[in-house]
Amino acid sequence: MVTHAPKVDLFGVRISITDYEDATRRIIEAAKARESYAVSALAVHGLMESVNDPELRDLVNTIDLVTPDGQPVRWALNHFHDAALGDRVYGPDLTWHVLAAAEAERVPVYLYGSTEETGEAFAAAILGKHPAIEIVGVQPDRFREATEDEDLADIAEINESGAGVVLVGRGCPRQERWVAQHRGKVHASMLAVGAAFDFAAGNLATPPSWMQRAGLQWLHRLAQEPGRLWRRYLFTNSQFVWLAVRRAVTGS
């Protein structure tokens, strides 16, 4: 059984103290053993969604590995818990670390989520970088919750495919719910890394590295999708800052 990375509490949500090398190792170890292992890369948006929704928070806190996806999350872990993290563990980058390891270890990969076109484009991008990797399934999202029969069929298809890694692209927080609810059912490492699909497929432009280091990736995303994202960033970013300031001042 894969040992868990240590976790610390950030506003009621348990975040793992991990880096790319450690997270990749744990994911591939579980994948090779066909162990059911849930992973989420949680940035400020997902963190605040979990803070505001107790049912979601309880689900996220069952996820085996919750990486600090955003720089602000990393900064908060370092400040409040002396985590000494040198970098965030960003979902799209973690995805490529895992895919490189999956190719080297001959671990089959399954893509679950997003549109059919994006899934196929993501698969082509993966094979372009890692031609020896085996992609054993590409299942587009239904953009609704599956019926019980559909869910059972999805689980059976994934397990019968032999996949050791399942990349899940359903958008936050739907993908976090999915990986949490399928622990013990899908016998693979399940990674909730939705944006990785769109970046790899070319639907979204990758932010400049300086914006990523400065914690300004949200601004780059907002510039690309202002109509969809302005409300998310206005409220979630403001709430994160307020909670961080309150904790710094009051200790709670």
What pLDDT is attached to residue 218?
A: 63
For the four alpha carbons of 113, 233, 6 and 75, in that order, the dihedral sign comes to positive
**Within a domain: 114:** yes
- Structural domain tally of the chain? 1
- The whole-number pLDDT of residue 252 equals 76
Give a yes or no: residue 213 inside a domain: no
* Dist CA 211 CA 117 (whole Å): 29
Q: What is the pLDDT of residue 194?
A: 79
Give the 3-state secondary structure of residue 27.
helix
What integer pLDDT is reported at residue 245 of this predicted model?
94
CB 118 within 8 Å of CB 201? yes
Query: Which residues in 129-143 are b (16+ Cβ under 10 Å) and which e?
Result: ebeebbbbbbbbbee
What's residue 237's pLDDT?
86
Q: What is the pLDDT of residue 220?
A: 60
Contact 215, 75 (CB under 8 A): yes
80: in domain: yes
The range of the structural domain enclosing residue 113 comes to: 7-201
Is residue 40 within 8 A of residue 192, CB to CB? The reply is: yes
138 in any annotated domain: yes
Task: Please list the rounded mean pLDDT of every run of 10 residues in the chain (252 residues).
Answer: 93 98 98 98 95 98 97 96 96 97 98 97 97 98 96 98 98 97 98 91 76 66 64 81 94 80
- What's the pLDDT at 109? 98
* The residue to which tokens 């505001």 are assigned: 52
Question: Please, what is the Cα angle at 186 between 178 and 55, to 5 degrees?
Answer: 30
pTM value is 0.92
**Tokens matching residue 169:** 């692209």
Q: Residue 229 has what pLDDT?
A: 61
Question: What's the pLDDT at 129?
Answer: 98
Residue 193 is predicted with a pLDDT of 93
Query: What local confidence, expressed as pLDDT, does residue 209 receive?
Result: 75
pLDDT at residue number 3? 87
**Under 8 Å between Cβ of 44 and 215:** no
Does residue 166 belong to any structural domain of this protein? yes
